[in-house]
Amino acid sequence: MQKNDLDSRMKVANKYNNEGVVMDDQIIIEEEIVRNENRIDDEKYGDNGLFQINSWGADLSFRELINMYAEDELQKPELQRYYVWDKREASRFIESILLGLPVPSIFLARTQEENYLIIDGYQRIMTVVDFVNGVFTKDGSSFKLSPTVNELWANKTFSQLSSEEQKRLRRTTIHSIIFEQKRPTNDDTSMYQIFERINTGGRTLFPQEIRNCVYHNEINTLLIELNVNPAWRTLFGQSEKDSRMRDMEFILRFLMFSNKKFSETTAISLKKELNLFMDITKNKDGKYRCEDYKKQFLETMELLVNTDKDAFRNINEEGSILSRFHPTIFDSIAVATKMAIENGVDILWKNDREAFLKAKRNLLKDFQFIEYTTTRTTNTASINGRIDLAYKYLFEEVQ
């Protein structure tokens, strides 16, 4: 390949050097890659076949919801749904109930274990739970109603309400729309799509935020644990966790690509494949392989961080390292490194940054690798091709 052709390709690969960059709490990600993958996913995800989902309405009293929550029958999504209302907002909701005003419906999904996931309505449910229990869990303070509410209840705790008012609050019903997937069996991925379409929490949720709400299992717990690993935080490039859980999704990508093989003849919906990997009703081994997954990730991150903390960054046409975390370069190098560790390969650049950078630069300048990491990145030929090339340059042709 001629040098001019290579320079042209490098410019295409790096055309977002000064644009298309998302900064969130100091996190900088090669966002155009993610946007393209999400666009393709949105086009593909509807090709899954039809679900049979039953839905019905039920008027549940707050007494019932409080008891269900206390008995863990009513489950909140792990981590994602922090309680965000301040005491004034929470007090106004309690005031609305005491005044007899209508309150918005909540959405619940009944699981195969006969529990209920809160799809929408967590803030409302937890406000009443906290008020009845007397503790504002957001800051651990006593839950007294704000002085701005009706003077009948201003500055009062639940225990300071009259017996009649306490009963009125507990007996108040809230309309609940409940979903249950009937078909296909042993596949909960429809819950992801329901949550994606129905959640009304005030902002568009990112895919991993939705998975965190839907998949309450060992894999989700593992992702939360791995996301605080110091080696990973260094390689990702930001010490604080991403509030939109993109960092957790990259860990999930690593685990999925490391443990699943794809046919050369198909293209995938990345969103669907990540959902299926997290859904232990489909990924039946996942529940029992979490220790293996943990070992794979930690060994890989430890090796790379001790060699080059910029392992997952691209280079520009001059060969300088760019600042952004690059998703498909991450996939390629991380999965190839995991494979080399498992294969017992003698890693010649271990703890030698210059040797690693030489091999990495050769990889990143490869015309085919640039293609695989910038265009049609969810095609299986691109996925397999970029991982194979990373393995070749980093572990087979190292001098």
pLDDT number for residue 76: 78
Instruction: Please give the C-alpha separations between residue 270 and each of 39, 80, 289, 331, in angstroms, as whole numbers.
Output: 11, 21, 21, 13
Predicted confidence (pLDDT) per residue in 163-222, tens digit: 999 999 999 999 998 888 776 565 555 667 676 666 555 556 788 888 887 787 889 999
Q: What percent of the chain has pLDDT over 90?
A: 51
CB 132 within 8 A of CB 90: no
Q: What's the pLDDT score for residue 167? A: 96
Longest alpha-carbon distance in the chain: 84
Strands laid side by side in the 74-75 sheet: 52-61, 173-183, 106-110, 116-120, 74-75
Q: How far is CA 212 from CA 134, 245, 305, in A?
A: 28, 9, 27
**Residue 79 pLDDT > 80:** no
Render 211-269 in DSSP notation, one character per residue. Answer: HHHH--SHHHHHHHHHTT-HHHHHHHT-SSPPTT-HHHHHHHHHHHHHH----TT-B--
Is the pLDDT at 29 greater than 90? The verdict is: no
Instruction: Say what the pLDDT of residue 192 is.
Output: 72
pLDDT score, position 359: 93
Q: How far apart are CA 389 and CA 160, in angstroms?
A: 69
Structure token pair of residue 89: 């907002």
Query: Are the CB atoms for 155 and 144 separated by under 8 Å?
Result: yes
Q: Which of 283, 255, 259, 263 is nearest to 379 (CA)?
A: 263
Which letter, b or e, does each residue of 366-376 get, where b requires 16 or more Cβ atoms within 10 Å of its Cβ? beebbbbbbee
- pLDDT, tens digit (0-9, with 9 covering 90-100), for 131-160: 999 999 888 899 999 999 999 999 999 999
Q: 380-391 and 327-343 helices cross at what angle (nearest 10)?
A: 60
H helical segments located in the chain: 3-13, 31-44, 62-70, 87-99, 122-133, 163-171, 189-198, 207-214, 218-226, 230-236, 246-259, 270-278, 290-305, 327-343, 353-364, 367-374, 380-391
The C-alpha atoms of residue 59 and residue 105 are separated, in whole angstroms, by: 9
312 and 330 in contact (C-beta within 8 Å)? yes
Q: 24-45 as b/e, with b when 16 or more CB fall inside 10 Å?
A: eeebbbbbbbbeebeebbeebb
Whose tokens are 């490869």? That residue is 366
Taking the C-alpha atoms of residue 207 and residue 244, their distance in angstroms, rounded to an integer, is 9
DSSP string, 22-41: EEETTEEEEHHHHHHHHHHH
175: three-class secondary structure by DSSP: strand
User: Measured between alpha carbons, how far is 325 from 23 in angstroms, rounded to an integer?
Assistant: 11
Band the pLDDT of 269: cuts 50, 70, 90: confident
Which DSSP symbol is given to 145?
P
Specify the higher pLDDT residue, 112 or 173.
173
Query: What percent of the chain has a predicted confidence (pLDDT) above 70?
Result: 78
- Asked if residues 253 and 331 have their Cβ atoms less than 8 Å apart, the reply is yes
Q: Is the pLDDT of residue 367 over 90?
A: yes
How far is 143 from 156, CA to CA, in rounded Å?
8
- Over 50: is that where the pLDDT of 18 sits? no
How is 55-82 classified by DSSP, letter by letter?
Answer: EEEEEEEHHHHHHHHHTTSEEPPTTT--
pLDDT tens per residue across span 285-327: 777 789 999 999 999 999 999 999 999 999 888 878 898 999 9
Give φ, ψ of 226 to 5 degrees: -65, -25
